[in-house]
Structure 1
Amino acid sequence: MINVLIVDDEPLARKELRRVLSKAEDIAIIGECSNAIDAVGMINREKPDVVFLDIQMPRVSGIEMLSMLDHEKMPHIVFLTAYDEYAVQAFEQHAFDYLLKPVNQARLDKTLQRLRRDREPQKIGLLPGANQLRQIPCFGQHHVQLLRMEEVEYVASGISGVYVVATDGSEKPTALPLHILQDRTPLLRCHRQYLVNVDYIEKINFLENGLAEIHTRRGHVIPVSRRFFPQIKERLGIL
């Protein structure tokens, strides 16, 4: 069986896609989401094989949602889009599966045949915007909260996982590892366990043996390792 998640903000579009997918005996629809925020949480929890993803959604688009996921552990994505010449060209150039809305049964059947035959790893990072994380998804027991970059003081990795320290002092867990946050956000890597928002750095104390520590505006002290110190000095214009 191929476990499928449908993500589309239009109820009628979800209903129609569910109807045409239900004709295939080897397709199991494990859920539907009306927005990208709910979809991120469900993808991490349920780990579907395939996600039928609408591109044009309010607040967080389908492409932006992809930036919130670990590209190495992602389900296969089939994009849903109204006719958009640029988007279609981008999908075809990188051999992504896509369906034009409203979904045509014959075209869907071809997509399902490809999914049954093979689901090679998709190079999601090639899509414009898929590597640009403007908000960090933080997961609660029954919700996903999005933190904008200006709301993030620093991010740390500990025994219990990765957590975001917000500017209000609260700590919020995220499923994204530090290397993804480093690559997709303006946060600065200062230590193997820490990323810091440069806008909240108050001062840097230089220690012995090439070490240092960052003091944030809220009074937190973050270690700086020798490995990352040259990058920090370059980023902050320290000679």
Structure 2
Amino acid sequence: MNCIVIEDNIVQEQLIVSHINETRTLNLLGSYPNCESAIIKMNTSKVDILFLDIEVPGMNGLEFLEKYNLQKDTHVIITTAKSKYAIKAFDNGVTDYLLKPISYNRFTKAIKKVIGKSIIESIKKDFMFIKSKGSFIKLLFQDIVWIRSSCEYVIIYTINKKYMIYSSMNKIMEKLPSSFIRIHRSNIVSIDKIDRIDGDSLELDGQMVKISKTYKNDLMSKLGIAN
């Protein structure tokens, strides 16, 4: 699972990063001292877990949760020295609330909670509805091969056919499970459908799709390939 840390205290940041590195199922995408500096990475990567401090410079953690539209599958774990924010944090849909200093035992309990919620969510929904030519069509995620943008439209390629819908890549990405990854500003692919990677392109269903430098490290990390 891909993680981002927002923490301005160097000692606490190093502790959280150390816990992440000790946990085989976790992959650190980046660590940032404030919310604003993390936004670009969160917009360009699939983030499974956000470790979020509340009292950080600029926009605080709670303001960030209220103002920023997080990806649907992102689980937020609050990391703070104060318990007074707990009620408001859970009202904003966080998965867990950790008090500093964070022990590894408590950290792993939070990760297990994330995994449990992820399993429940994946069982609960394995499809999405799209509007195409005036009708609402049900698409199973397992049937989607890849997605590309075309001006103001998005083209969804499934195993059997393709659909053109009026939407944005960011909105589509919010609906997709973690088995999909963005590999280019204009391309999203199903990880399960990737056949091979050749330089700055990958092949799926006989189609070569472009990978941009911005997204390649995240792709290789998600696949467990040394880049």
Structure possessing the higher radius of gyration over alpha carbons: 1
> Per chain length, whose mean CA-contact separation is higher, i.e. which structure has more relative contact order (CA < 8 Å, sep 6+)?
2
Compute the TM-score of the two structures, normalised by the length of structure 1.
0.46
